[in-house]
Structure 1
């Protein structure tokens, strides 16, 4: 694969969701959704105090634990969940690349297994990193 699969780029400015779309955002384990995409997620059902998993039309992936390695199990669980729920379309935001302080080069490789999942959309900068690695 040397190009981004058609229709698989997450819009960098999501203002509405279709009924089957899920907004995937970076959170903290405590579920304090006060800033960035986490704050935006509250409009679609993100629950204060819940830092992991499905919440309304959102899915939280903790990114504020201090290291990329600590994010891996949460991304792996998300990908398993998304693959098991192929009737939903998951719009992954640039998790970890805002308040958490990581870069797309740090986080994108965690989504390598998402490339084969047609119902997972990734940010363009994640795709750019992933395509360079193939």
Structure 2
């Protein structure tokens, strides 16, 4: 057993088990096409955030040794070239976080609310069908 090979027991030998209908993407609302699209959009936004921050971070990291001792050169007041690189990296992190939050609010929140409302309506209908009365 190692970090990359967890010590889970092997699956039982024999024929494949009968698929559980609860995990059918058509039946399970958590795995439906709307949820998959929601996850893809969230993944795309997250990758964009990480790519922008990684690019600026690597640029600042690689410019330090490339510029040699000039990162300690005073540019304006008490600000040095190295401090300006770090300030640019921090500003990029803040701006990209704000844009990520706004993009999630604009693109993901309405879809998630619509999915939640649909699930709530479906749960109410199933409850009414099973018990004959409205769900509290």
- TM-score, normalisation: structure 2: 0.22
Identify which of structures 1 and 2 has the higher relative contact order when contacts are C-alpha pairs closer than 8 Å and 6+ apart: 1
- TM-score, normalisation: structure 1: 0.23
Q: Greater helix percent: which structure?
A: 2
Of structures 1 and 2, the larger Rg is shown by: 2
